[in-house]
Amino acid sequence: MNNYWEHVNPKEFLQSANEGYNKPVRQLYRALLNQLNINRMLEVGCGPGVDYVGAVSSRPAIDYTGVDMTQNMVDYCTSQYPGGTFLQGDIHKLPFQDGSFELVYCKDVLNHLQDWGTGFSELHRVSSKYVLVNFFYGLSSTTFSGVEHHDGFLNHWVDWNEVMTQIFAFMPVAINVYPLDCNPNEETMILIQKK
């Protein structure tokens, strides 16, 4: 993933039609921040800060922390967005105590992991209330998984049944899936409410 961000202009990314601020899944994220009345959140895989901008536009007083594995993204966000806290970190070893954030948000990271469940477990650990994850390759309603090599990193297609089995093991109070009719050709966002 480090190679990817070395070739991306953060300002162009923010405005791009494919990934930028107005992408429908990012609009849903902002709506959920308001609906859930989130005041303190962590984003894992913050990249160039697109969803930081969304968070503060939706919830101006939000206490936002962003983590990214690439130092250049952390440096960029720190210089551009002084209202947020940005740290370099690893999804497998987040430097926070259990239950530190009302919402933990992770977009477009889990598909890159060899074992997405290990990363999800860490997101769940540092959340006190909600975990919101996005799979950029949608989840198939039938058993399907695979790996794609792309620009020096791996993209994993993840099986719906596997994801739901692992999430249910955490015994959530509620699970919401967007869109309701999942297919492998569109993104899937899952909101988990903890006990």
What are the sequence ranges of the domains in the chain?
Answer: 2-193
d(CA 123, CA 92): 9
**pLDDT tens digits, 52-94:** 999 999 999 999 999 999 999 999 999 999 999 999 999 999 9
pLDDT digits (tens, 9 = 90+) for 132-150: 998 766 565 544 455 555 5
- Please give the CATH superfamily to which domain 2-193 belongs: Vaccinia Virus protein VP39 (3.40.50.150)
Determine the residue type at 177: V
Instruction: Pick the closest to residue 33 from 55, 51, 63 (CA basis).
Output: 55
CA 138 to chain CA centroid, nearest Å: 14
Identity of the residue numbered 74:
V
Q: What is the C-alpha separation between 87 and 74, in angstroms, rounded?
A: 6
User: What is the reported pTM?
Assistant: 0.86
Burial of 13 (0-12, 13-18, 19+ CB in 10 A): middle
Tokens of 114: 């060899």
Rounded to whole angstroms, the Cα distance separating 103 from 32 reads 10
